[in-house]
Structure 1
Amino acid sequence: MVFVHRLFPTPVMVAEEIWALASEGRLLSDLVRTLVRAMAAFALAMVLGTALGIVLGRQAFLDRLFSSWLVVGLNLPAIVVAIVLYIWLGLTETALIAGVMINKVPLVIVTIREGVRSFSAEYEELGLALRLGFRRRLATIYWPQLLPFVLAAARTGLSLIWKIVLVFEVLGSDGGVGYRVSLMFQFFDVTGILAYTAAFIIVVLAFEYGVLRPLEGRARAWRRPA
């Protein structure tokens, strides 16, 4: 005999709920809204974090000046950032995306900074000796050394953003996976919560294996022997 309770739904019940939500159109709409927010915050954080990480990695004085702030940023609770930005900017898309970005930027900065610090001085001297232009040195000396750190920052940062964006949606949003889960929580709708969670995990896995890993493989192709 199988124990069935509304608070302990079976996988079949969850699958049926996913199908019902998808048929209504709500599931797809919420997933798209969450993914757009996550991708916007991810792109902004990668651009800003990479630029600042390169600067701090090359300028020791600035690194010493802002290192304590980086520690604060790395350990600042996401919920505090969310509440403060929602108070300042209101329950807007700008506040949500900015908050998610702020939580990710310190991680990118630290990762890229360590990558810049690890640059080989011999390669840089070789480029100067061969009188390579800046663009040539960037493509053949700097970028190949920095690439593993960029990929690491992207991988760890994206895994962080997937979770943080849901927290921001729960606290204040008019749609998205986090918003829908918070509504279902109020009605103790465990089946709906698990349905949204399962659908979100499927999307994350599809993005990981369908987009991120192929891009990573192409980016690392130059390191493979001919």
Structure 2
Amino acid sequence: MANEAVNPHTMPIAPVYIKLGVFALLMAVWQGFAMLLDVPDLPSLTQTLQALYYHTHEGDLINNVLITLARVLISFILAMLIGSIFGIAMGSKAWFNNISESLLIILLNIPALVVIILSYIWIGLVEAAAILAVVINKVPTVAVMLREGARTTDTKLAQVAKVYQLSWYRFMHAVYLPQLYPFFLASARNGLSLIWKIVLVVELLGRSDGVGFALYSMFQFFDIAGILAYTMVFIGVVFVIELVCFKPFDLRIQRGR
């Protein structure tokens, strides 16, 4: 029937093959162009895979990726937590939005590089400065998304919850937060992509480990195959996070609708 709910576990798997086909096509185009041009500045797929094997077994690729992942995770959690609190408060309280909006606009438009440099100058070349720089850069974008989400919540549902005298926890868990789940997911996806990039810049400028530091070292030696190898791992980790963390949450939101 038309109204029958779609079970995500029974959905056709053709999209999976389409995605794999597109990925295989991109790899084939890469290999073909590299073989056709035959220049040192564009390593082939096979050369990149050889570099990946070398950096994995002989280099510090795994260690650097784990260090960067730890920084990304800590920064992501802090940015989502702080940004969500401020965003929801700004969206639900007009007076708080009026007070905070100017500061939010300023933070949104300060270049990330400026925040990173000032953090290192004022705090020092320490881990706390690196994490703080990433969090400051990401909190405003999370706050903006959650502010818009809080503004779109249904006030009638809140009135019904008040009539039935729901507890604060029950109201937040069953009525209020579910309306914000799509905005949480959007800000999380956007935040992860942005935090990855900022963390690499932070590591490049002021850390002696991590993927950013490794990329800078390979840049000095023009190790393009190594740079592409790290990039492949970088993209692979993001895909795993998407499939393991974000996709199940997305399916849950779709079922809730």
TM-score, structure 2 normalization: 0.82
Q: Secondary structure at the match of 1:131?
A: coil
Letter in 2 for 1:118: T
Contact kept? 2:203, 2:209, Cα under 8 Å: yes
- Check if 1:223 corresponds to 2:256: yes
Give the aligned partner of residue 35 of structure 1.
69
Equivalences for residues 1-226 of structure 1 within 5 A: 2-218=36-252, 220=253, 222-223=255-256
Taking the aligned partners of 1:92 and 1:167, their CA distance within structure 2 comes to 15
Higher relative contact order (CA 8 A, sep 6+): 1
Structure 2 portions without partners, runs of 5+: 1-34
For the 8 Å contact 1:58–1:117, the answer to whether it is kept is yes
Distance 1:221 1:54 in 2: 22
| SS at 1:33 equivalent | helix
What is the deviation of 1:158? 1.0
Aligned residues: 223
Answer whether contact 1:54 1:113 (CA < 8 A) is retained. yes
What SS does structure 2 have at the residue aligned with 1:91?
coil
Instruction: Tell me, yes or no, if the aligned pair for 2:90 and 2:96 is still in contact at 8 Å.
Output: yes
TM-score (norm 1): 0.93
Q: Bigger CA drift: 140-149 or 207-216?
A: 207-216
- Cα RMSD after superposing both structures: 1.5
* Structure 1: stretches of 5+ with no match in the other structure: none
